[in-house]
A and B are shown apart, each in its own frame.
Chain A
Amino acid sequence: MNSSPPKPVLTAESLTVDRGGHQVLSGVEFSIAQGEIFALLGGNGAGKSTTLLTFLGFVTPTSGVARVNGQSVHEDIKAIHKQVAYLPEAANLYPHLNARENLDYFLSLAKADNSRARIDSALDMVGLAASARDRRLEAYSKGMRQKVGIALAILRDAPILLLDEPTSGLDPVAIDEFNSLVVALAGEGTTVLMVTHDVYGACQVARHIGLLQKGQMVGDFRASAGNPISADEVHRKFTESHL
């Protein structure tokens, strides 16, 4: 029996981005299959967030194409956004609203179920204390805001998750819970593109890791059956590429 390879959900084809006369991405290529967790690793300024923003349509590539389910991102940006849930690095939510109000607002814009029970269930899932839910986000720590952002990404029920430094600011327990959650979602078929500079965290959850250095892919790691990606190997490559 022939088993054809799974159709890629997210594809970067020779993605090149110039910004302000500076090349931020240079011929980046990767593809992510449905239900796969792909971690894009790299140091500061490597071009990780730019890659994510290109898939969101907020950055136009100078050349190359970012595709979602075979469709170029810039062809129908609204259609792409309907399939994608995005968690920005700083969980850019509204500080004047509390957790519930933030989620209610964004979900209503996305025309998703914004019932209080559903929102509370997601907040339970990310471990945000009930007593904090009616406090405005301006009084939250970075980790608490991140949890609300993660809750929003979950509540979108989107088939694709784009996560920018998702564990930034989270305590170790919350990081473990988050990692388990992402793995579970991938198990249900959600495709995850996660950018991070946390090598060990990435190796815990991702089955596929790309290493980005000064806008170029300098490493590609895949987990083999039953064996996770070696964090030491990735770390060594990461360090070498910075020398």
Chain B
Amino acid sequence: MMDKAAVVRIAREEWRFWLRSRTAVAAAAVVFILVITSLVSTAIRIETEREARLQLQAIAEETFRSQPARHPHRMIHYGHYVFRAPAPLATADPGVDPYTGTVMFLEGHKQNSATFSPRYTQADAGPYAFLSPALTYQLLVPLLLIVVGFACLARERETRTDQLVFTMAVNPGSFWLGKSLALAALAFATLVPLGFVAGNAWLQGENGWIALTFWLGYAVYLLCWVFLITACSVWSKRASTSLLALLACWMVLNVLLPRIASSAADAWAPLAGKVQSDLEIARELRDVGDGHNANDPSFAKLRAQLLAQYDVSSVEELPINFRGVVAEAAEEELTETLNRFADRRFDQELAQAELANAFSLLSPYLALKSFSITTASTNIGQHHLFLRSAEALRFSFVQSLNKVHAEVLTYADDVNRSVDQQSEQRTRVDAHHWRVLEDFDWEPASVSDRLSGSLPFFGMLLMWALAASILGWIGTSRGAWSQDG
């Protein structure tokens, strides 16, 4: 039977021990400062970026739409920028954002890669820029819990104070639970700042369940470490053995396995290099006709179809501008090819991520990492969603301008536009056509997708917490404290 009063009293006494221990207080102070610093600095940076990107997005749209009358194809090459505004929870976990690029230049006949806004590259390049709040919680807070809690039970065993405690009719299970409660309270204290960040994300439009789930995931992760630490402490005859075992666990679970997971994923699902991909794309695009050349033999069939459809004998007689139609058809074919390569690339990246995710079973750190970026909308899948949204916008505005090209300009004016200035003027279409550009509505994955995507990882974290608690419980119930062993 569990004695609740004894459990709470044991936890309180452990806190008193820590508060009177300079090592524990110093370790806690350092980690709290790191947590607060990383949270504040990341929040400021992400907020600044969000505002700037939203502002730049509006400026880019306005700039495009306010261009003077031009030839529509010039507008296709004039292009447009889209910016990926960080998700509200990116303040806690920027995920893959710092590595994947957040700005894209959209133009005709090309699918450009996402790049970084040069304005923020310098800020991201600081020596501790990697220290996001997520990383602090994933790597450093467990270290704090180890430093503070490794001896919580082994110390008592070493000094035999545990025997005196048990002769007070306290059962070993209550003793272990009291120590676990003390460590869990410390873990939860470190989670208070993260709670504020999750709350702030909710105020900024993040779904409340997502914000809560995000925080809960970190709570369960730290609970895994709490139970792992008390289990290790209960099984160790000496505090020094417990510390060494826990540091080894931390190294394996948080450093070695992630490294192995990443290398294994890279080896088992290799990605094609950029040069190789570009060469393959170029090879395939050679078969796609040149959309700038209406006489390209690739469009002979299209020409014949149109002449038959409109029952005319030459393109000059067509009621639409054949050059615009060719541009539209070429863009469609080219986009289809580019999308095929993009899909292949996305599939490869997802396969790689899934392989790495499989290692989450072996490491709570990996499980939390995957859980965190999935919930926060900062994983590779979200980046793909951004790229697809950007591509959809690119294709839409390019094809809309090609349509203007085909329907507003006459073929005769178009082919003679370089004859004199007046001819050139006639090929300029009114600026109101630039309003074909739609707003870039980049939306993260739906709440249900994010919750269902993060659920397996949450389950793995629960499994780890349960396994570690069972390990500790077995240690107490089989009398790990008795003098027999």
Contact = CB atoms under 8 A, between A and B. Distances in A.
B169 A59 contact: no
Contact of B167 (A50, A81, A94, A107): A81
Interface in B167-219: 167-171
Chain A at the B interface: mostly helix, strand, loop or mixed? mixed
Interface residues on B, range: 20 to 34
A97 B17 CA distance: 8
A194 to B, nearest CB: 16
B2 interface: no
Contacts of B165: 106, 109
B120 interface: no
A56 interface: yes
A93 B161 contact: yes
Contact of A59 (B164, B166, B482): B482
A77 B161 CA distance: 17
B482 A109 contact: no
B10 to A, nearest CB: 8
Interface stretch (A84-92, A179-187, A211-219): A84-92
Interface residues on A, range: 20 to 34
B457 interface: no
Given A78-B169, A82-B169, A109-B6, A93 B164 contact: yes
A77 B163 CA distance: 12
Interface in A5-43: 19
Contacts of B484: 19, 59-60
Contacts of A82: 169
Contacts of A170: none
B159 interface: yes
B483 interface: yes
Contacts of B17: 94, 96
Given A105-B13, A109-B6, A58 B483 contact: yes
B377 to A, nearest CB: 47
A90 B159 CA distance: 9
B169 A81 contact: yes
B481 A58 contact: yes
Interface of B: 5-6, 9-10, 13, 16-17, 20-21, 159-161, 163-171, 481-484
Interface of A: 19, 50, 53, 56-60, 77-78, 81-82, 84-86, 88, 90, 92-94, 96-97, 101, 105-111, 152
Given A58-B483, A92-B163, 10 more contacts: A57-B482, A59-B482, A78-B169, A78-B171, A81-B166, A86-B164, A94-B17, A96-B21, A108-B5, A109-B10
> Considering the complex of A and B, which 9 residue pairs feature the smallest CB-CB distances, nearest first?
A110-B168, A109-B168, A81-B169, A86-B167, A92-B160, A82-B169, A96-B20, A59-B483, A92-B161
5 contacts: A92-B163, A105-B13, A106-B168, A109-B10, A109-B165
